[in-house]
Homo-oligomer: A and B are copies of this chain.
Amino acid sequence: MSHQLGRSTWEFSKVRILASAVSVGPKEGRGPLAKDFDIIHDDLHIGQDTWEKAERKLFEEALDLAVQKAGLKKDQIDLLIAGDLLTQIISASFTARYAQIPYLGVYGACSTSMESLALAASLVEGGYANYVVSGCSSHNATAERQYRYPTEYGGQKPPYAQWTVTGAGVAVVGKGLIGPKVRYATIGKIIDMGLKDPFDMGSAMAPAAVDTIEQHFIDTGRRPEDYDLIVTGDLAGVGYPLAKKMLLERGFDLSSVYNDCGLMIYYSDQEVFAGGSGCASSASVTYGHIMKELHKKTLNKVLVVATGALLSPVTYQQGESIPCIAHAVAIENEEE
């Protein structure tokens, strides 16, 4: 049986997000979506002695809570598919050590949220696993010092820079009877327009989001109006209008349904420059806010397009441009 639709879309009929959980830091807890997050920490250290342990702690507690909400125990989970932004994806791997679930690590920068969900859905639908946990994390302080400068430098940033979201979002994927269905996943290819400024992730990633959204419409025959909401992961203030304009030029008017997780997660006066970024941007908004709206049926069909900038500090220093990618997953309530 083929689950392949067009060039790069996977179709699912039986897979649901049985439960999800989100744990975030203090700034996210003061944002407009605070009520949708399960755990909010008022201490960026999350009670740990390193930033890396803090990020890991967020991931572990989101995983525990998601599994508990699904009415399961960790030893009933067949597989953990997870990633994060840190080198050698240590947050995910150390969470896998804690959880003791068979584990596959993935890396798609901020697209990791939907990469892991797409793989989880394909493995459940394909009969390789009954329950898969997918998820990712990011932490402002771990990302800052890895990708940019030691935070102690107090380095100045341009207004088009973004603020890495501190949080972890986890989903439990399975074939149960309740919960929104994972309907499609469109896997992106690398788009690199030659941009080299590591502060301007929004501009670099926007064309990748556009490419995947267009491919999704081509592969599925759907149109923007088929969705209640289409969100990109973290294009924020610079990339969001760019993606909107590019899509319009290609004949897709998303204006009535389009938003961006990096714009949704903070108030504009929260000193986050152009908005949120990091794989926890799309993961927190999707597994916190969007899942709640789907359960309330204020939203019924959502396309989450997680965008990733696949640079490294080494490629930047070597003068390379930024390869970007986006993966889209359609999450929706069953039609009644």
A residues within 8 Å of B by Cβ?
1-4, 7-8, 10, 50, 52-53, 78-79, 83, 86-90, 93-94, 96-97, 100-109, 115, 118-119, 122-123, 125-130, 187-190, 192, 310-315, 318, 320, 323, 325, 327
Contacts and interface: CB of A to CB of B under 8 A. Distances in A.
B314 A103 contact: no
Contacts of A118: 104
22 contacts: A3-B126, A4-B129, A4-B130, A7-B78, A8-B102, A79-B187, A83-B107, A86-B312, A87-B312, A87-B313, A88-B312, A88-B315, A89-B107, A93-B325, A94-B315, A94-B323, A96-B189, A103-B189, A104-B108, A105-B310, A119-B119, A126-B128
A188 B115 CA distance: 20
Given A4-B78, A4-B129, A106-B104, A88 B90 contact: no
A156 B128 CA distance: 46
A290 B65 CA distance: 44
Q: So how many copies of this chain end up in the complex?
A: 2
Contacts of A87: 87-88, 312-314
Given A100-B190, A104-B108, 5 more contacts: A8-B79, A52-B315, A89-B107, A97-B190, A126-B128
Contacts of A2: 127
Nearest to A49: B318
B188 A310 contact: no
Given A102-B188, A126-B128, A314 B3 contact: no
A53 to B, nearest CB: 8
A9 B290 CA distance: 33
A313 B310 CA distance: 20
Nearest to A88: B312
A7 B102 CA distance: 9
A106 B106 contact: yes
A128 B122 CA distance: 8
Contacts of A106: 104-107
Contacts of A7: 78, 102
A119 B119 CA distance: 9
A192 B94 CA distance: 10
Contacts of A79: 8, 187
A314 B86 contact: yes
Contacts of A109: 88
Nearest to A215: B102
Contacts of A318: 50, 52-53
A89 B323 CA distance: 12
A189 B101 contact: yes
A11 B157 CA distance: 51
